[in-house]
Structure 1
Amino acid sequence: MKLKNTFFKITTIVVVVSAFFSCNDDFNTVGSEVIGDINFKDDQYAAIPKAYSKRFERVRSNNLVKQVSGNQVSYHANMLGVYDDPVYGQSTYSILSQVQLQQLNPNFGTNAVLDSVVFSMPYLSRATGTTQVQIDANTTETATTYSLDSVYGNQPIKLSLYKSNYFLRDFDPATDERQVYFSDDINTNFAAEVEKTLLYTNDSFVPSAKEVVLRVETASGDNTTTTRSRLTPRLRFKFSEEIKTLFKTLFLDKQGSSELSNANNFRNYFRGIYVKAEPEVGGGGNLVYLNMRDAQIALHYSFDVTNTSNSTTTRDQGELVLNFSNTVINSIETNIDNNDIVNGLKEENQDTINGEETLYLKGGDGAYAIVDLFGGNITNETGEEENELTFLKRQDWLVNEANLTFYIDQNKVTTGGDTEPERIYIFNAETGEPLIDYVIDGSINSEQPSLSGVNHLSPISRDSDKNGEFYKIQVTQHVINVLNGDTENVKLGVSVSQNVNYITVVDNTPTIKIDNEIIPTSSIVSHEGTVLYGNGADVPESKRLKLDIIYTAAK
């Protein structure tokens, strides 16, 4: 008999079960659980999955796209800064990006002078209100107040910008496929080439939620006109006179050259910008999520304009914009300073047969758990040892619900609250695809990710002190499909997630140790971590990883 999902009405279940026992029975319904001489009971079975951790020495980190609204790309996910995880220690995120001329083969005009070079990097922010600001006795302006999204920590870090001399290829010459870059490439493989020329340093960088006010004075004869504009919160500054001279040499002096004539020539000529984050001694740091493709470097210049009618010459102004585009790489460097975690994550220490007592989940270049729902043997009703999946397939059960419960090890996660990931995500570890329960979850809501997928992927459950207790994942339809033989009992991956709407994956190949490893991109762009209980004699029985199957069976 095929197991049926009790999303169907109870009357449908009754008919199916009754038909199995006898097509010729006379049916008499007594209450809701008795049909003819057949009684039904609801019961629960606790399966014991096997699980262990998988650590990544590095992850693919170029061009990570964050999809947060249906099928539309909302922004590219880049992380910049330093984050101190209370469990896993400090992670440092830097960015290396190509830049592209907004206008190829630019003409700067006659007697061009470079007036300023400005860097601008907007944060993710949202307006929270407005207020009136008095500019002078006769003028008021409407100012906007903002709240920054996706900023973690408020301690200063060192931020430096470099002109990179490392050429980033678009294609891998060995395969003719798009070039893949990894989280450790900048520190391990690119070395000093990315720090060729220092352009700017801020020794106490902290993102500010204040809007940026621009004030520009324009002289015309004896009159000076002042214009003001307001920008969303961002890191914005003018480069020094020394760096301005460098940009004059690189751009204005190259007017008409082949280097500025097309995109490929320019990418080889001006190879990129490296934005390097470094922790301050004893500081907790700050981490900001942003879309680096919104950043730009603007060259503001002036030039002669001649009026042919009266042969007079005036000065006009122009702008050349360098956009951060094409290849953008996130460097991720995590220094786990807890020896127990370091040893617990070693590949040789993972019991892939019997499972581990502790499961480590960490975003970035971290780790996730591998779970085998029915990989072990049990003692069956006759006292014999039998494969658990074989045993379950023999049962005439109607599966009503199946839930995986992962309990948080509060002995290891001693600082909870906002430092704990709100959600975890489960997927097919062989293909990266979500489970069928994700696909049929009617609560998937692309407009409100925090409320999305709560039937399948329940948010963290917290105690009275707001510390995490457990995560519950509903896998009802997946379990039904496995027991029916419609789906293989493949190993599942469980990772942290910043946004459960974001279900794309990246192929982590080639790597040093692991080939063809599938990692959810939502895990790579997550910074938080947690520690969960697996199974074993030292795990409190009430906290052990379990798969609860609630079913209806004939008495």
Structure 2
Amino acid sequence: MIYNIRKIFTILSLMILGGVLVYNCEPEPDSLGEQLFLDGAANGKEVPYDITAYNISNNDTIRADANTLYNLLGSTANTSATGVLGAFNESQFGMQKATYFTQLRLPANDPDFGTNAVVDSVVLVLKPIYRSDSITTTTDENYVYPDGNVDAKKVVNTYPAVKYGKAKKKMNIQVQEVTEFMNGYNDPVYSNKDFAASSTVLGSKEFSGNVNAITITKDSDGSSLFSSAAGFRIPLSPTFFQSKIIAKKGQPELKDVSNFIRYFRGLKISVEESDGYLFQFYPNDMELIMYYKNDKVENGQNTRPQLKYSFSIGSANAHSGYYQYDRSGAAVANFTPDMENGDKKLFAQGMGGNSIGIKLPVLTINELKKMYQDQKAAIISAKIRLYIDDAVWSNPYAKPSAFTILQGDKDTNGKTVFDYTTDYSVLGSASTFVPFRTYDTTEGYYYEFTVTQSLKDIVESGKDYKDKFYKIDLAQFISTSAGSLAGFKYTSRPFSMGRTVFVGTDPSNVKNAKLRVTYGTK
């Protein structure tokens, strides 16, 4: 009989790879397993089992350099990698503050700014992620363009940035010069690295939480005087760039890349406040623009036209995120991870915060193995169910919508190594594979993580389970431009703003973390 069940699973696996599974939004066995119930092929029964769920401390640190924040924007991956700015403080996780560092380069070595060049203005443009479906338009028909006092029309389209935290607050974003060499593009940098910076602020501007797209056209003929894509523009000191850049024309500091990145070492972008919200932006879309004028004689007159000089602030520059935490007084500070007995509450947080560990008790594994051997009970579906702890986490903040789950094991040297779960490696290429599902029910908001194949491997193969566990993070796996996963190490954890509190191993709580196994017998 177990042969027939195995045969059914083989056929169904081929069906999965053919993409014929149907998603159902109600809690149920895997589509793989539900076929076993057809025409009386098997009797299914769902049984909840206790699990050991615990916090994994990452010491509030994660690798957050160009290879994790920027490199994934390149030709081999999609554009899901982002930088984070802002600060957010609440009672469960405490304060989290994000600062961004970046090098910059000249678009070409040894630039010539002409004769008597003088900087008019400099602006740093950030491109926060915004809600394009929400737009407010304001039009000024009587606008006067300042360069030449030209009568014009100014149209501003305003969009709200996507924010996590206290969305109605305003924050002051400031820019400083980095005084410490940031090393090379490929050098690893961790999120607790605060590069030294000058105390002098090059520029600052209040961020209301919105981004603007601006268009200015002449009244006389409708021609464009100025246009900018949706972004946030921070004015910087013209005097600084006059002495730092223009005055160095023809000198060694501007002759090549190596000299320049040691002379002008980078920019630090931060917020002054310690509470408000976090927001994401695309590092590849940042702009640093210097507007200047130089002598240009036409028909015997010196016209001094305005010119635009754009620094290279993406490309091969070093980038890094600096994340500060203050956990004092926060609920998470009261929990020391207990891998043996589990933790009653699970504090999951991106950007170097806690991960979740899940161990299946040996007694549970042995019981499932015995059922398989004695009753020919084949596992149809296996899910890890975690409830959000609404007793402490009932708020307007967005609930997590992305997770990664990995298998952890010990190598021959006793070192913990990670990889995709076998559910990902076996079924991950199928468009119908669903690694987790979300349920909003009258009994609570919960997530179910698919571990069917990995549990079957343990129970039905007889492999040793002693050192195996699952690791869950608030993040998503990064895909390449071809649509395949870039590798289990490539996730959005370094820039994931989310956090939430789950019910962990707490037998006194009806929402206790559980493994829910559906098995079939004949």
TM over 0.5: yes
Query: What corresponds to 1:397 in structure 2?
Result: 377
Distance 1:236 1:390, change over 3 A: same
* Residue 358 of structure 1: how far off its partner (Å): 2.6
Q: Residue 216 of structure 1 contacts residue 228 of structure 1 at CA under 8 Å; is this kept in 2?
A: yes
Identity of counterpart residues, as a percentage? 19
More strand by share: 1
Match of 1:77 among 82, 107, 120: 82
What TM-score, normalized to structure 1?
A: 0.73
**Counterpart position of 1:481:** 457
* Correspondences of 1:20-39 after superposition (within 5 Å): 32-33=39-40
User: What letter corresponds to residue 433 of structure 1 in structure 2?
Assistant: D
Q: Does 1:376 align with 2:362?
A: yes
Name which of 161, 184, 190 aligns with 1:170.
Answer: 184
| 1:362 corresponding residue in structure 2 | 349
How far apart in 1 are the matches of 2:181 and 2:218? 37
Alpha-carbon distance in 1 for matches of 2:273, 2:138: 38
| TM-score, normalisation: structure 2 | 0.77
**AA paired with 1:360?**
F
Distance 1:88 1:160, change over 3 A: same
Aligned to 2:295: 304
Deviates more, 1:69-78 or 1:399-408: 69-78
Name the SS of the counterpart of 1:341 in structure 2.
helix
Task: Name the SS for the 2:295 alignment partner.
Answer: strand
Gaps of 5+ in 1: 13-30, 35-39, 172-177, 218-222, 379-385, 445-451, 507-517
- Write the mapping of 1:61-210 to structure 2, written as runs, cut at 5 A: 61-63=64-66, 64-65=68-69, 72-85=77-90, 87-125=92-130, 127-128=132-133, 133=139, 135=141, 144=157, 146-150=159-163, 152=165, 153-170=167-184, 178-186=186-194, 190=195, 193-202=196-205, 204-210=206-212
Match of 2:246 among 242, 252, 255: 252
Indicate how the Cα distance of structure 1 residues 456 and 226 shifts in structure 2: closer, same or farther if over 3 A, else same: closer
SS in structure 2 of the partner of residue 51 of structure 1: strand
1:462 matched residue in structure 2: 440
- Tell me, what secondary structure is at the counterpart of 1:245? helix
Give, in angstroms, the shift of residue 494 of structure 1. 1.0
> In the TM superposition, what is the alpha-carbon distance from 1:474 to its structure 2 partner?
1.8
CA contact (8 A) 1:98 1:328 kept: yes
8 Å contact from structure 2 (residues 107, 310) kept in 1: yes
Decide whether the 8 Å contact of 2:156 with 2:212 is kept in 1. Answer: no
1:431 & 1:278 partners in 2: Cα distance? 39
Distance 1:8 1:69, change over 3 A: farther
**Equivalent residue number for residue 263 of structure 1:** 257
State the shift of 1:388 in Å: 4.6
Structure 1 letter corresponding to 2:407:
N
Task: Give the Cα–Cα distance (whole angstroms) in 2 for the partners of residues 468 and 81 of structure 1.
Answer: 31
Classify 1:376/1:198 alpha carbon distance in 2 versus 1 (closer, same or farther; 3 Å). same
Report matched runs for 1:321-332 at 5 Å. 321-325=310-314, 326-332=317-323
Taking the aligned partners of 2:235 and 2:155, their CA distance within structure 1 comes to: 25
Q: Is residue 372–residue 491 contact of structure 1 (8 Å, CA) maintained in 2?
A: yes
Q: Answer whether contact 2:91 2:331 (CA < 8 A) is retained.
A: no
CA 1:302–1:532: 2 relative to 1, 3 Å = same
Residue 535 to residue 143, structure 1, CA distance change in 2 (3 Å): closer
Letter in 1 for 2:397: D
How far off is 1:131 after superposition?
6.3
Tell me the secondary structure at the aligned position of residue 253 of structure 1. helix
Please tell me whether the aligned partners of residues 49 and 376 of structure 1 are also in contact (alpha carbons under 8 angstroms). Answer: no
Q: 1:257, CA displacement in angstroms?
A: 1.5
Match of 1:17 in 2: none
Deviations 1:413-436 (A, max 9, x none): 2x2343432343311235543323
Structure 1 distance, partners of 2:118, 2:277, is 38
Tell me, yes or no, if the aligned pair for 1:112 and 1:252 is still in contact at 8 Å.
yes
* Equivalent position SS for 1:99: coil
Cα displacement (A) at 1:231: 2.3
Q: Counterpart in 2 of 1:525?
A: 495
1:319 to 284, 308, 313: 308
Q: Which has the larger radius of gyration?
A: 1
Q: Secondary structure at the match of 1:125?
A: coil
* 1:469 partner letter: Y
User: Could you tell me which residue of structure 2 aligns to residue 544 of structure 1?
Assistant: 512
Q: Tell me the number of residue pairs that the alignment of Structure 1 and Structure 2 aligns.
A: 468
Structure 2 unmatched ranges of 5 or more: 15-37, 144-150, 409-415
Q: Is the 8 A contact 1:416 1:468 kept in 2?
A: no
Aligned partner of 1:72: which letter? A
Mapped to 1, the partners of 2:168 and 2:312 lie a distance apart of 28
Offset at 1:205?
Answer: 2.8
Residue 185 of structure 1: how far off its partner (Å) = 1.1
SS of the equivalent of 2:397 reads helix
User: Which SS does the other structure have where 2:113 is aligned?
Assistant: coil
2-side partners of 1:497 and 1:148: how far apart? 20
Q: Which of 319, 327, 340 is the equivalent residue of 1:353?
A: 340
1:22 equivalent in structure 2:
none
Name the residue aligned to 2:395: 416
Distance 1:139 1:158 in 2: 30
Q: How does 1:339-350 map to 2 (within 5 A)?
A: 340-344=331-335, 346=336, 350=337
- Asked if the contact 2:171–2:207 (Cα under 8 Å) also holds between the matched residues in 1, the reply is yes
Deviation at 1:90, TM superposition (A): 2.2
Partner residue in 2 for 1:493? 471
Counterpart residue identity of residue 146, structure 1: Y
1:267 is paired with a residue of what secondary structure? Answer: helix
Q: 1:535 to 1:146 in 2, by over 3 A?
A: closer
Say which is worse superposed, 334-343 or 545-554, in terms of deviation. Answer: 334-343
**1:436 corresponds to:** 422
Structure 1 pair 254–132 and aligned structure 2 pair: CA distance change class (3 A): closer
Q: Does 1:276 align with 2:267?
A: no
Give 3-state SS (helix, strand or coil) of 1:484's partner.
helix
* Distance in 1 between residues matched to 2:225 and 2:345, nearest whole Å: 58
CA distance in 1, matches of 2:464, 2:330: 37
CA distance in 1, matches of 2:99, 2:322: 5
3-state SS of 2:346 partner: strand
1:323–1:197 Cα change, 3 Å: farther
Cα distance, 1:488 vs structure 2: 6.8
